[in-house]
Chain A
């Protein structure tokens, strides 16, 4: 079993819809959880960063962590064509190296 599982998609949604992305993981030691957004031919850009279980909101973005289920989610409300990108989840335990999901491609159709 891979440490981090992320459905690669692609996921196509109409503009204005809610986008829901998720990752599952196997290592219960993971403490820090991140979501990166990557546009075509660009590097991953840190989008959300959470430490504990629960929700964190930043504008149209909400990151959710459920440590008991080993499950993290990213929600994008009122999606825009500019949200079309690949979204990668990442997580780590202490000073250990980051474990990445393979990324989920999202297309928002105008």
Chain B
């Protein structure tokens, strides 16, 4: 799993509650990413980080925020969860070179009721 740990692995929460997902890497890679995967949509980028405190939006960033205070940790927060955010969330990492591929964690399955 390329030294990537996602927590929790499963979570059920209620609409309107805040939720934070954590990604921890042991590879010291510069880039970290949050994706969501949904049937019919494939993998979609939510946010990414290119260094400590450096983050940027992906294609589906509305309703999500991120923080990266240490190289190894990248947090994804749903400020007020909605049912449309029920999904499987994947963290990925890559090195700094443009030819560096992404390596993924095993995902967090989030259900918003």
Which residues of A line the B interface, CB within 8 A? 32, 34, 36, 41-46, 49, 51, 88, 90, 94-95, 97-98, 100-103
| Partner pick for A43 among B1, B41, B45, B101, CB 8 A cutoff | B1
The answer to whether B90 and A43 have CB atoms under 8 Å apart is yes
What is B's interface to A at a CB cutoff of 8 Å?
1, 4, 40-43, 45, 48, 58, 90, 98-99, 101-107, 109
CA distance A24 to B1 in the complex (A): 28
A44 to B48 Cα, complex, angstroms: 17
Q: Which residues of A contact B42 (CB under 8 A)?
A: 88, 100-103
Chain A neighbourhood of B99, CB < 8 A:
32, 51
Q: How far is the CA of A68 from the CA of B86 in the complex (A)?
A: 40
Residue of A44, A95, A97, A103 touching B90 (CB-CB under 8 A): A44
- Contacts known (A88-B42, A102-B40); A45 close to B104, Cβ less than 8 A: yes
A68 CB to nearest chain B CB (Å)? 21
Chain A residue numbers with a CB within 8 Å of B45 are: 97-98
Q: Are B101 and A42 in contact (CB under 8 A)?
A: no
Instruction: Give Cα distance in the complex from A84 to B107, angstroms.
Output: 19
How long is the Cα–Cα vector from A103 to B42 in the complex, in angstroms? 7
Instruction: For B103, list chain A residues within 8 Å (CB).
Output: 46
Q: How far is the CA of A45 from the CA of B4 in the complex (A)?
A: 12
User: Lowest 9 A-B CB distances belong to which pairs?
Assistant: A43-B104, A102-B42, A95-B98, A43-B106, A100-B43, A44-B104, A94-B98, A43-B105, A49-B101
Chain B: minimal CB distance from A103 (Å)? 6
- Expressed in whole angstroms, the minimum distance between the Cβ of B113 and any Cβ of chain A is 20
Extra 17 A-B pairs, beta carbons < 8 Å, given A44-B104, A94-B98 = A34-B101, A34-B102, A42-B106, A43-B1, A43-B4, A43-B90, A45-B104, A46-B101, A46-B102, A88-B42, A95-B98, A97-B45, A97-B58, A98-B102, A100-B42, A100-B43, A103-B42
Partner of B41, one of A41, A45, A97, A102: A102
